[in-house]
Protein backbone atom coordinates (compact mmCIF):
# COMPACT_ATOMS: atom_id res chain seq x y z
CA UNK A 1 0.00 0.00 0.00
CA UNK A 2 1.01 3.63 -0.30
CA UNK A 3 3.18 5.07 2.48
CA UNK A 4 0.31 7.37 3.44
CA UNK A 5 -1.50 4.31 4.82
CA UNK A 6 1.49 3.50 6.99
CA UNK A 7 1.04 6.88 8.67
CA UNK A 8 -2.45 5.73 9.60
CA UNK A 9 -1.02 2.65 11.30
CA UNK A 10 1.50 4.80 13.19
CA UNK A 11 -1.32 7.08 14.35
CA UNK A 12 -3.32 4.09 15.64
CA UNK A 13 -0.42 2.93 17.77
CA UNK A 14 0.21 6.37 19.23
CA UNK A 15 -3.47 7.06 19.92
CA UNK A 16 -3.66 3.70 21.73
CA UNK A 17 -1.22 5.05 24.28
CA UNK A 18 1.22 2.19 23.83
CA UNK A 19 3.74 4.20 21.80
CA UNK A 20 4.91 7.82 21.79
CA UNK A 21 7.03 8.25 18.69
CA UNK A 22 6.73 6.50 15.34
CA UNK A 23 8.98 6.56 12.30
CA UNK A 24 7.27 6.00 8.96
CA UNK A 25 9.40 5.25 5.92
CA UNK A 26 8.37 4.61 2.32
CA UNK A 27 10.57 4.00 -0.69
CA UNK A 28 10.52 2.58 -4.16
CA UNK A 29 13.20 2.35 -6.79
CA UNK A 30 11.00 2.37 -9.85
CA UNK A 31 13.89 2.43 -12.28
CA UNK A 32 14.96 -1.14 -11.47
CA UNK A 33 11.77 -2.70 -12.81
CA UNK A 34 8.64 -1.86 -14.73
CA UNK A 35 5.88 -1.00 -12.25
CA UNK A 36 3.20 -1.14 -14.95
CA UNK A 37 4.10 -4.74 -15.62
CA UNK A 38 3.91 -5.54 -11.92
CA UNK A 39 0.54 -3.83 -11.54
CA UNK A 40 -0.93 -6.47 -13.84
CA UNK A 41 -0.55 -8.91 -10.96
CA UNK A 42 -2.99 -6.92 -8.87
CA UNK A 43 -5.77 -7.81 -11.30
CA UNK A 44 -8.16 -10.70 -10.83
CA UNK A 45 -6.18 -13.74 -12.02
CA UNK A 46 -9.25 -15.61 -13.21
CA UNK A 47 -10.68 -13.04 -15.61
CA UNK A 48 -8.92 -9.77 -16.21
CA UNK A 49 -5.44 -11.26 -16.20
CA UNK A 50 -6.62 -13.96 -18.57
CA UNK A 51 -7.97 -11.37 -20.99
CA UNK A 52 -4.42 -10.14 -20.99
CA UNK A 53 -4.74 -6.63 -22.33
CA UNK A 54 -5.48 -4.64 -19.24
CA UNK A 55 -2.81 -3.05 -17.09
CA UNK A 56 -3.07 -0.02 -14.82
CA UNK A 57 -2.42 2.42 -17.67
CA UNK A 58 -5.08 0.92 -19.95
CA UNK A 59 -7.59 0.84 -17.10
CA UNK A 60 -6.85 4.48 -16.26
CA UNK A 61 -7.22 5.38 -19.92
CA UNK A 62 -10.64 3.74 -20.05
CA UNK A 63 -11.63 5.62 -16.90
CA UNK A 64 -10.46 8.87 -18.47
CA UNK A 65 -12.56 8.23 -21.56
CA UNK A 66 -15.62 7.44 -19.46
CA UNK A 67 -15.19 10.58 -17.35
CA UNK A 68 -14.50 12.85 -20.31
CA UNK A 69 -17.50 11.47 -22.16
CA UNK A 70 -19.91 11.84 -19.26
CA UNK A 71 -19.02 15.40 -18.33
CA UNK A 72 -17.83 16.73 -21.68
CA UNK A 73 -14.26 17.30 -20.51
CA UNK A 74 -11.72 18.03 -23.20
CA UNK A 75 -8.18 16.79 -23.66
CA UNK A 76 -7.04 20.37 -23.23
CA UNK A 77 -8.49 20.45 -19.73
CA UNK A 78 -6.55 17.31 -18.91
CA UNK A 79 -3.39 18.74 -20.37
CA UNK A 80 -3.87 21.90 -18.32
CA UNK A 81 -3.47 19.80 -15.16
CA UNK A 82 -0.08 18.62 -16.42
CA UNK A 83 0.94 22.14 -17.31
CA UNK A 84 0.02 23.41 -13.85
CA UNK A 85 1.71 20.61 -11.96
CA UNK A 86 4.84 20.36 -14.07
CA UNK A 87 5.31 24.14 -13.93
CA UNK A 88 5.04 23.96 -10.15
CA UNK A 89 7.52 21.09 -10.12
CA UNK A 90 10.04 23.16 -12.06
CA UNK A 91 10.66 25.09 -8.85
CA UNK A 92 10.70 22.02 -6.57
CA UNK A 93 14.22 20.70 -6.00
CA UNK A 94 12.88 17.28 -4.98
CA UNK A 95 10.82 16.72 -8.12
CA UNK A 96 11.83 14.19 -10.76
CA UNK A 97 10.21 15.64 -13.83
CA UNK A 98 10.93 19.34 -14.14
CA UNK A 99 10.02 21.09 -17.40
CA UNK A 100 10.24 24.86 -16.92
CA UNK A 101 8.09 26.79 -19.34
CA UNK A 102 6.04 23.74 -20.28
CA UNK A 103 3.18 24.44 -22.72
CA UNK A 104 -0.17 22.90 -23.50
CA UNK A 105 1.07 21.96 -26.98
CA UNK A 106 4.04 20.09 -25.53
CA UNK A 107 1.72 18.03 -23.37
CA UNK A 108 -0.74 17.34 -26.18
CA UNK A 109 2.04 16.32 -28.54
CA UNK A 110 3.80 14.00 -26.09
CA UNK A 111 3.84 10.29 -26.88
CA UNK A 112 0.40 8.66 -26.83
CA UNK A 113 0.15 5.45 -24.84
CA UNK A 114 -3.40 4.28 -24.31
CA UNK A 115 -5.71 6.94 -25.69
CA UNK A 116 -6.01 9.55 -24.08
CA UNK A 117 -3.12 8.86 -21.71
CA UNK A 118 0.08 10.45 -22.90
CA UNK A 119 3.64 10.55 -21.64
CA UNK A 120 3.08 13.92 -19.95
CA UNK A 121 -0.41 13.19 -18.63
CA UNK A 122 0.75 10.17 -16.66
CA UNK A 123 3.21 10.00 -13.80
CA UNK A 124 6.84 9.11 -14.47
CA UNK A 125 8.49 6.02 -13.05
CA UNK A 126 10.57 7.47 -10.26
CA UNK A 127 13.02 6.48 -7.56
CA UNK A 128 12.38 8.08 -4.24
CA UNK A 129 12.18 7.71 -0.50
CA UNK A 130 10.38 9.64 2.19
CA UNK A 131 10.12 9.51 5.97
CA UNK A 132 8.10 11.22 8.69
CA UNK A 133 8.23 11.17 12.46
CA UNK A 134 4.93 11.15 14.33
CA UNK A 135 4.61 11.85 18.05
CA UNK A 136 1.94 11.97 20.70
CA UNK A 137 0.81 15.43 21.80
CA UNK A 138 2.95 15.41 24.93
CA UNK A 139 6.07 14.17 23.20
CA UNK A 140 5.52 16.54 20.27
CA UNK A 141 5.76 19.58 22.53
CA UNK A 142 8.93 18.19 24.11
CA UNK A 143 10.59 17.70 20.75
CA UNK A 144 9.60 20.71 18.69
CA UNK A 145 8.16 24.22 18.76
CA UNK A 146 6.54 23.69 15.40
CA UNK A 147 4.37 20.59 15.40
CA UNK A 148 1.91 20.03 12.58
CA UNK A 149 -1.25 18.43 13.94
CA UNK A 150 -3.23 15.72 12.21
CA UNK A 151 -6.78 16.94 12.68
CA UNK A 152 -8.67 14.47 10.55
CA UNK A 153 -8.19 11.13 8.85
CA UNK A 154 -10.49 9.27 6.50
CA UNK A 155 -10.00 6.18 4.40
CA UNK A 156 -12.12 3.94 2.22
CA UNK A 157 -11.69 1.18 -0.31
CA UNK A 158 -13.89 1.12 -3.39
CA UNK A 159 -15.19 -1.94 -5.19
CA UNK A 160 -13.04 -3.63 -7.79
CA UNK A 161 -12.85 -2.28 -11.38
CA UNK A 162 -15.69 -4.39 -12.71
CA UNK A 163 -18.31 -3.28 -10.25
CA UNK A 164 -17.34 0.33 -9.61
CA UNK A 165 -18.83 3.53 -10.88
CA UNK A 166 -15.67 4.58 -12.65
CA UNK A 167 -16.79 8.12 -13.47
CA UNK A 168 -16.65 9.09 -9.83
CA UNK A 169 -14.10 8.43 -7.08
CA UNK A 170 -16.71 7.32 -4.58
CA UNK A 171 -14.20 5.84 -2.17
CA UNK A 172 -12.27 9.10 -2.04
CA UNK A 173 -15.48 11.04 -1.46
CA UNK A 174 -16.32 8.83 1.51
CA UNK A 175 -12.78 9.11 2.87
CA UNK A 176 -12.80 12.89 2.54
CA UNK A 177 -16.15 13.20 4.30
CA UNK A 178 -14.80 11.18 7.22
CA UNK A 179 -11.68 13.35 7.44
CA UNK A 180 -13.63 16.62 7.17
CA UNK A 181 -16.06 15.52 9.85
CA UNK A 182 -13.24 14.63 12.22
CA UNK A 183 -11.51 17.96 11.57
CA UNK A 184 -14.69 20.00 11.76
CA UNK A 185 -14.48 21.25 8.17
CA UNK A 186 -17.77 22.23 6.54
CA UNK A 187 -16.69 24.04 3.36
CA UNK A 188 -13.44 22.46 2.22
CA UNK A 189 -12.82 24.74 -0.75
CA UNK A 190 -13.20 27.84 1.38
CA UNK A 191 -11.47 26.61 4.52
CA UNK A 192 -8.43 24.74 3.19
CA UNK A 193 -5.33 26.76 2.34
CA UNK A 194 -3.53 24.15 0.25
CA UNK A 195 -3.98 20.58 -0.94
CA UNK A 196 -1.49 17.93 -2.01
CA UNK A 197 -3.14 15.07 -3.89
CA UNK A 198 -1.83 11.90 -5.55
CA UNK A 199 -2.79 12.22 -9.20
CA UNK A 200 -1.16 9.46 -11.21
CA UNK A 201 -2.99 10.62 -14.33
CA UNK A 202 -4.11 14.10 -15.28
CA UNK A 203 -7.79 13.18 -15.37
CA UNK A 204 -7.51 11.83 -11.83
CA UNK A 205 -6.86 15.33 -10.49
CA UNK A 206 -10.12 16.59 -11.99
CA UNK A 207 -12.01 13.66 -10.48
CA UNK A 208 -10.24 14.30 -7.18
CA UNK A 209 -11.50 17.90 -7.10
CA UNK A 210 -15.05 16.60 -7.27
CA UNK A 211 -14.53 13.82 -4.72
CA UNK A 212 -12.92 16.22 -2.24
CA UNK A 213 -15.88 18.55 -2.56
CA UNK A 214 -13.92 21.41 -4.13
CA UNK A 215 -16.60 21.63 -6.81
CA UNK A 216 -19.84 19.98 -7.86
CA UNK A 217 -19.91 16.56 -9.47
CA UNK A 218 -18.80 16.77 -13.09
CA UNK A 219 -17.37 20.30 -12.69
CA UNK A 220 -13.73 19.34 -12.25
CA UNK A 221 -12.85 20.58 -15.73
CA UNK A 222 -14.57 23.88 -15.09
CA UNK A 223 -12.68 24.33 -11.82
CA UNK A 224 -9.45 23.73 -13.73
CA UNK A 225 -10.47 26.31 -16.36
CA UNK A 226 -11.11 28.91 -13.66
CA UNK A 227 -7.46 28.57 -12.55
CA UNK A 228 -8.62 28.48 -8.92
CA UNK A 229 -6.22 25.62 -8.14
CA UNK A 230 -3.15 27.35 -9.50
CA UNK A 231 -0.29 28.29 -7.21
CA UNK A 232 -1.27 31.92 -6.77
CA UNK A 233 -5.04 31.47 -6.69
CA UNK A 234 -7.83 30.48 -4.31
CA UNK A 235 -6.90 26.91 -3.35
CA UNK A 236 -3.54 25.78 -4.72
CA UNK A 237 -3.53 22.06 -5.46
CA UNK A 238 -0.16 20.30 -5.78
CA UNK A 239 2.20 23.24 -5.43
CA UNK A 240 4.91 20.58 -5.25
CA UNK A 241 4.06 19.23 -8.68
CA UNK A 242 2.15 16.21 -7.43
CA UNK A 243 2.56 12.65 -8.62
CA UNK A 244 2.75 13.81 -12.24
CA UNK A 245 6.18 15.22 -11.40
CA UNK A 246 7.46 12.31 -9.30
CA UNK A 247 5.89 8.94 -8.61
CA UNK A 248 7.99 6.60 -6.50
CA UNK A 249 4.84 4.53 -6.13
CA UNK A 250 4.74 3.60 -2.46
CA UNK A 251 6.32 6.88 -1.37
CA UNK A 252 4.04 9.14 -3.40
CA UNK A 253 1.29 9.58 -0.80
CA UNK A 254 3.79 10.04 2.00
CA UNK A 255 5.52 12.74 -0.04
CA UNK A 256 2.18 14.54 -0.33
CA UNK A 257 1.95 14.54 3.45
CA UNK A 258 5.49 15.88 3.76
CA UNK A 259 4.84 18.60 1.17
CA UNK A 260 1.68 19.63 2.99
CA UNK A 261 3.60 19.74 6.28
CA UNK A 262 6.30 21.91 4.70
CA UNK A 263 3.61 24.30 3.46
CA UNK A 264 2.13 24.59 6.94
CA UNK A 265 5.56 25.11 8.51
CA UNK A 266 6.40 27.81 5.97
CA UNK A 267 9.30 25.77 4.59
CA UNK A 268 8.04 25.10 1.07
CA UNK A 269 10.58 27.47 -0.38
CA UNK A 270 9.72 28.94 -3.78
CA UNK A 271 6.32 27.25 -3.97
CA UNK A 272 5.18 28.46 -0.57
CA UNK A 273 1.49 29.24 -0.33
CA UNK A 274 1.46 32.34 1.76
CA UNK A 275 0.08 31.86 5.27
CA UNK A 276 -0.93 28.24 4.76
CA UNK A 277 -2.21 26.74 8.01
CA UNK A 278 -4.83 24.15 7.05
CA UNK A 279 -3.73 21.57 4.51
CA UNK A 280 -5.06 18.39 2.93
CA UNK A 281 -2.90 15.45 1.88
CA UNK A 282 -4.14 12.46 -0.13
CA UNK A 283 -2.70 9.05 -0.96
CA UNK A 284 -4.08 6.28 -3.13
CA UNK A 285 -3.45 2.62 -3.84
CA UNK A 286 -4.85 0.20 -6.38
CA UNK A 287 -5.79 0.51 -10.04
CA UNK A 288 -7.88 3.60 -10.84
CA UNK A 289 -7.39 4.88 -7.28
CA UNK A 290 -9.38 2.11 -5.68
CA UNK A 291 -8.34 2.71 -2.07
CA UNK A 292 -7.86 6.24 -0.77
CA UNK A 293 -6.76 7.99 2.41
CA UNK A 294 -7.10 11.67 3.31
CA UNK A 295 -5.38 13.67 6.05
CA UNK A 296 -6.19 17.14 7.32
CA UNK A 297 -3.19 18.93 8.79
CA UNK A 298 -3.12 22.09 10.86
CA UNK A 299 -0.23 24.27 11.99
CA UNK A 300 0.38 25.99 15.26
CA UNK A 301 0.48 29.61 14.14
Partner 1 sequence: MWRNVAVIGVGQTKHGRRRDVNVAEMISEAAWRAIEDAELAPEDIDAIAIGNMQGFGGVCQAELWSGDMFGAPGKPLLRIATGGTTGGSVAQCAIYQVASGLFDVVLAIGFEKHSDSKEPGATMGLAHVGLANLFHLLECGVDMRTSFAWGGGVGAAAGVSAYQAANYMHRSGCGVEHLDMVAAKSRSNAAKNEYAHLQWPNCTPDDIANHPRYGKFAAYPLRFGHICPASDGASAIIVASEEFARSAERPAWVRGLAACADEENQMAENAQGVAVVDSSEQIQCKVAALKAYRMAGIKNPKKEIDVAEIYQPFPHQELIYSERLLLFDDGKAWIALEEGETQIDGRLPIDPSGGVLSTNAIGSSAMQRVAECALQIMGKAGEHQVPKDVKNAVAHGWGGSTNFTVVTVLGDTPRLRR
Partner 2 sequence: MAKEEKRKETLTVEGDWPIGSYVYKAPPLYKELLACYKEKKLIGSLCTGCGMVYVPLRNICGRCWRKIDTRVGVSDIGTVTGFTISPEIRKGEVKVMGIDPVEAGWLEEGERLIMVYVKFDGANSNYTTILMNAKPEEVHIGMRVRAVWKDEPEGKLSDLQGVEPVKQLQHTT
Q: Least distance to partner 2 from the beta carbon of 130, Å?
A: 12
Between 68 and 243, whose beta carbon lies closer to partner 2? Answer: 68
Query: Does residue 113 interact with partner 2 by CB under 8 A?
Result: yes
Query: Does residue 162 interact with partner 2 by CB under 8 A?
Result: yes
Q: Least distance to partner 2 from the beta carbon of 37, Å?
A: 10
- Please, which of residues 240-269 interact with partner 2 by CB under 8 A? 267, 269
Angle at 28 between CA 269 and CA 33, to 5 degrees: 130
User: According to CB under 8 A, which one of 117, 135, 195, 280 is a site residue for partner 2?
Assistant: 117
How many residues touch partner 2 (CB under 8 A)?
37
Between 13 and 65, whose beta carbon lies closer to partner 1? Answer: 13
User: According to CB under 8 A, which one of 145, 163, 187, 232 is a site residue for partner 2?
Assistant: 163
Between 7 and 80, whose beta carbon lies closer to partner 1? Answer: 7
Between 161 and 289, whose beta carbon lies closer to partner 2? Answer: 161
Between 17 and 52, whose beta carbon lies closer to partner 2? Answer: 52
Query: Does residue 66 interact with partner 2 by CB under 8 A?
Result: yes
Query: Does residue 50 interact with partner 2 by CB under 8 A?
Result: yes
Q: Which does 50 bind (CB under 5 to 8 A by kind): partner 2, partner 1, none?
A: partner 2
Amino acid sequence: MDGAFAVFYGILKILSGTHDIALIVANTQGSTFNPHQVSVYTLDPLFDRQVGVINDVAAAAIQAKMYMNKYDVSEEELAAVSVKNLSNAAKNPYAHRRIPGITLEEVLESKLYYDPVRELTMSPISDGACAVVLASEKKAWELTDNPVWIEGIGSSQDSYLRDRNLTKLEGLEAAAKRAYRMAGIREPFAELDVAEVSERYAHEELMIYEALGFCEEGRGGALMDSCATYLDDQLPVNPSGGALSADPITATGLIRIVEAVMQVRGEANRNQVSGAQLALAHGQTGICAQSNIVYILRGEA
